[in-house]
């Protein structure tokens, strides 16, 4: 390993600090960056992509540890050299074993992913990646290459960062007369120059470092390049995490070469230090914007002019943004979603309506707006929106399910059942849809069908508490106490800390006169949720039946304190007080 470090230092000038101190400083700065981001509201966890990038590991192993000489292989292949089999890398047993291990590990990961997600690719819409839906091959090729140049620019100057670049954020290049094609030419000139140096440089160390840097830069980016399959984004900052390693290698190599060609080494050092400090400050600023959704969405409006239509407009000459109506879609949608999550439905409706106005085919905004309108009992408009959403995207399973819920509320039971069935057709493993289908059957007194639907929901999602609860309640209400008890015990084995299941099973056990077990479950449920009036009220009923009248009186009173308007509890409490009064008269 010492020899490897010396080879690297021959090309890349070492730091002014001793190696141990340099590593400590880098480790400390990394820890500091992690600490700043640790308390954020949410993150996109891309650690798996970084740790398990088999291609990158292989490139490093072959080029750096195995000292693979690309130029030598190219020459031997072109000249059909018979000594090709004698190359040291191909005869390195340890290296070949590691490569086999990486390939088998990668194949295993792909197989597991295939088993979980299926063979079909994810479905994306035109607003996610407009270039991939262009009819002309040339338009697709030009725009893909323009996206590559944008990614390269973000590596070089990470100033314009936005959490989402879809929704027409970057207008398509439709002709060679568009001046943005200059960016494509600049990108490929730089890449061709680097590749030429990596292959043809007389310095073997430089060739290896440049090849390593280009490998780190290009290989991790390939899955996001649209070359092998369509991706669901235009530009995504997260796909630049690993390519930034190659960029750093190339930049360091370039500054090293520059410092050897000039006498103004202090100026070079000052430039490097300035770039480093500037990017650290930018990193700190960007990390703070990811602390909450509000800050993140606000930063999108201030960075990307397309998302700034609502508030202000600003143009960026390099990215050539053109403000248009479709450009504000994603921000309106995300702000609306954020407001809805916080319970501010009125404001959320306003943003969702604006998103739908800007793009009448934005089915996700229609679905979310329909959900809010459904909760506000504005069922007619909710049905219209959700019907339109499934017309635009017939395989939108969530919209079909929500349409079924609305139709059920409107007492249009046949249409609701058909909507649920269509949702399940498009998403076979859909426990929530089976649960709602069961509720429909229960409303229609089709008890066997309801139980089957809820059982399907629990098979697909064993922790589906609502489905378990509804099965227990339905069996209880139809007099099947033994079956209700069996289902309740099965549910509590799977979800032992669910107080609503404890409550439902306690009711069943009380009716079956298993008072001791019922009492224990009631008390456990009350401990988990002490402010549930019904829990205290039903425990009081249990004590009332059991003959523990003083305890019944205590829990009736607690229940009425929590819910003074509970008529059933009031009636039972009155009966208990009369009984206690009669008992006192007998005693006298």
Distance CA 210, CA 250 (A): 6
Instruction: Give the CA distances from residue 225 to residues 133, 201, 229, 238, 368, in Å, rounded to whole numbers and listed in that order.
Output: 15, 28, 8, 13, 31
Please tell me the least confidently modeled range out of 31-45, 197-211, 238-252. Answer: 31-45
The token pair at 437 is 């289908």
CA-closest candidate to residue 154, choices 221, 229, 54, 55: 221
Residue 544 pLDDT: 92
CA-closest candidate to residue 551, choices 562, 541, 563: 541
Helix (H, G, I), strand (E, B) or coil at 253: helix
DSSP string for residues in 304-341: -GGGGTTT-----TTTT----GGGGHHHHHHHHHHHHH
Please tell me the least confidently modeled range out of 95-104, 293-302, 464-473, 535-544. Answer: 293-302
Distance CA 228, CA 468 (A): 44
CA-closest candidate to residue 55, choices 218, 203, 200, 187: 218
Residue 69 pLDDT: 58
DSSP state of 171: P
**Helix%, strand%, coil% for the chain, nearest 5:** 75, 0, 25
Residue 324 pLDDT: 34
Instruction: Please give the average per-residue pLDDT across 99-122, as a whole number.
Output: 72
Are the beta carbons of 557 and 573 closer than 8 angstroms?
yes
CA-closest candidate to residue 224, choices 238, 214, 245, 210: 238
Please tell me the least confidently modeled range out of 318-332, 372-386, 559-573. Answer: 318-332
Residue 281 pLDDT: 87
DSSP state of 63: I
pLDDT over 80 (residue 16) = no
Are the beta carbons of 98 and 203 closer than 8 angstroms?
no
The token pair at 217 is 């830069």
Distance CA 588, CA 584 (A): 6
The token pair at 175 is 């002709």
pLDDT over 90 (residue 21) = no
- pLDDT single digits (tens) 139-189: 888 988 888 988 888 888 887 777 767 655 677 888 888 888 898 889 999
First to last CA, the chain: 99
DSSP state of 429: S
DSSP string for residues in 437-454: HHHHHHHTT-HHHHHHHH
Instruction: Please give the average per-residue pLDDT across 509-514, as a whole number.
Output: 94
pTM of the model: 0.60
Residue 135 pLDDT: 82
Query: What is the band of 486 on the pLDDT scale with cuts at 50, 70, 90?
Result: very high
pLDDT over 80 (residue 327) = no
Determine the CATH number of domain 429-514: 1.25.40.10
- pLDDT single digits (tens) 431-478: 999 999 999 999 999 999 999 999 999 999 999 999 999 999 999 999
Are the beta carbons of 356 and 372 closer than 8 angstroms?
no
CA-closest candidate to residue 529, choices 566, 502, 507: 502
Distance CA 506, CA 196 (A): 77
pLDDT over 90 (residue 499) = yes
Distance CA 485, CA 475 (A): 9
Distance CA 514, CA 560 (A): 26
Distance CA 177, CA 106 (A): 44
Are the beta carbons of 421 and 401 closer than 8 angstroms?
no
Residue with the bigger pLDDT between 405 and 259: it is 405
Distance CA 73, CA 80 (A): 10
Query: What is the band of 205 on the pLDDT scale with cuts at 50, 70, 90?
Result: confident
Distance CA 512, CA 481 (A): 7
Sign of the Cα torsion 398, 467, 527, 548 reads: positive
Q: Left if phi > 0, otherwise alpha if psi is -120 to 50, otherwise beta: which for 72?
A: alpha
Contacts of 98 (CB under 8 A, 6+ apart): 61
Place of tokens 């009492």: 519
Are the beta carbons of 532 and 566 closer than 8 angstroms?
no
Query: What is the band of 46 on the pLDDT scale with cuts at 50, 70, 90?
Result: very low
Domain with CATH 1.25.40.10 in the chain: 429-514, 530-588
Distance CA 87, CA 428 (A): 53
Superfamily per CATH, domain 530-588: Tetratricopeptide repeat domain (1.25.40.10)
Residue 309 pLDDT: 32
pLDDT over 70 (residue 2) = no
Please tell me the least confidently modeled range out of 258-272, 380-394, 504-518. Answer: 258-272
DSSP H helices in 39-92: 47-51, 54-60, 70-78
- pLDDT single digits (tens) 63-101: 555 555 555 555 555 555 555 555 555 566 676 777 777
DSSP state of 172: P
């Amino acid at each position: 390993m010492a020899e490897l470090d010396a080879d690297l230092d021959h090309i890349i000038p070492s730091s002014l600090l001793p190696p141990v101190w340099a590593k400590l400083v880098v480790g400390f700065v990394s820890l500091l960056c992690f600490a700043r981001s640790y308390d954020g509201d949410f993150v996109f966890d891309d650690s798996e992509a970084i740790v398990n990038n088999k291609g990158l590991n292989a490139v490093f192993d072959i080029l750096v540890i195995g000292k693979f000489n690309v130029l030598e292989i190219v020459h031997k292949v072109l000249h059909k050299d018979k000594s090709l089999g004698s190359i040291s890398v191909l005869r390195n047993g340890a290296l070949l074993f590691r490569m086999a291990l990486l390939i088998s590990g990668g194949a295993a990961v792909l197989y597991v992913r295939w088993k979980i997600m299926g063979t079909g690719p994810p479905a994306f819409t035109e607003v996610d990646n407009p270039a991939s839906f262009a009819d002309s091959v040339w338009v697709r090729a030009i725009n893909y290459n323009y996206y590559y140049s944008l990614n390269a620019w973000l590596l070089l100057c990470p100033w314009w960062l936005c959490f989402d670049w879809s929704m027409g954020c970057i207008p398509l290049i439709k002709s060679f007369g568009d001046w943005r094609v200059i960016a494509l030419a600049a990108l490929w000139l730089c890449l061709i120059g680097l590749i030429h140096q990596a292959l043809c440089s007389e310095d073997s160390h430089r060739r290896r470092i440049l090849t390593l840097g280009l490998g780190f830069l290009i290989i991790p980016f390939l899955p996001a390049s649209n070359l092998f399959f369509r991706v669901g984004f235009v530009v995504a900052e997260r796909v630049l995490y690993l390519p930034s390693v190659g960029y750093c290698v190339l930049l360091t190599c370039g500054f090293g070469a520059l410092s050897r060609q000039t006498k103004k080494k202090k100026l070079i050092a000052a430039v490097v230090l300035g770039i480093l400090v500037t990017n650290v400050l930018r990193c700190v600023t960007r990390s703070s914007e990811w602390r909450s959704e509000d800050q993140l969405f606000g930063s999108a409006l201030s960075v990307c002019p397309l998302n700034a239509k609502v508030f202000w407009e600003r143009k960026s000459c390099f990215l050539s943004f053109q403000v248009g109506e479709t450009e504000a879609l994603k921000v309106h949608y995300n702000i609306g979603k954020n407001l809805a999550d916080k319970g501010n439905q009125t404001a959320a409706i306003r943003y969702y309506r604006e998103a739908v106005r800007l793009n009448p085919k934005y089915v996700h905004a229609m679905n979310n707006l329909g959900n809010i309108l459904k909760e506000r009992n504005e069922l007619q408009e909710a049905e219209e929106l959700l019907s339109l959403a499934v017309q635009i995207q017939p395989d939108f399973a969530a919209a079909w399910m929500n349409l079924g819920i609305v139709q059920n509320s409107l007492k249009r039971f046949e249409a609701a059942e058909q909507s649920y069935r269509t949702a399940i057709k498009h998403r076979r493993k859909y426990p929530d849809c089976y649960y709602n289908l069961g509720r429909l059957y229960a409303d229609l007194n089709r008890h066997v069908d309801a139980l089957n639907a809820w059982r399907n929901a629990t098979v697909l999602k064993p922790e589906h508490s609502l489905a378990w609860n509804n099965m227990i309640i339905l069996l209880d209400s139809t007099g099947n106490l033994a079956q209700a008890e069996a289902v309740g015990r099965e549910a509590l084995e799977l979800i032992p800390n669910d107080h609503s299941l404890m409550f439902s099973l306690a009711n069943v056990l009380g009716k079956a006169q298993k008072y001791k077990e019922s009492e224990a479950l009631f008390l456990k449920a009350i401990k988990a949720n002490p402010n549930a009036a019904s829990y205290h009220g039903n425990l009081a009923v249990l004590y009332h039946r059991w003959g523990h009248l003083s305890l019944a009186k205590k829990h009736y009173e607690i229940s009425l304190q929590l819910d003074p308007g509970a008529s059933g509890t009031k009636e039972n409490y009155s009966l208990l007080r009369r009984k206690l009064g009669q008992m006192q008269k007998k005693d006298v």
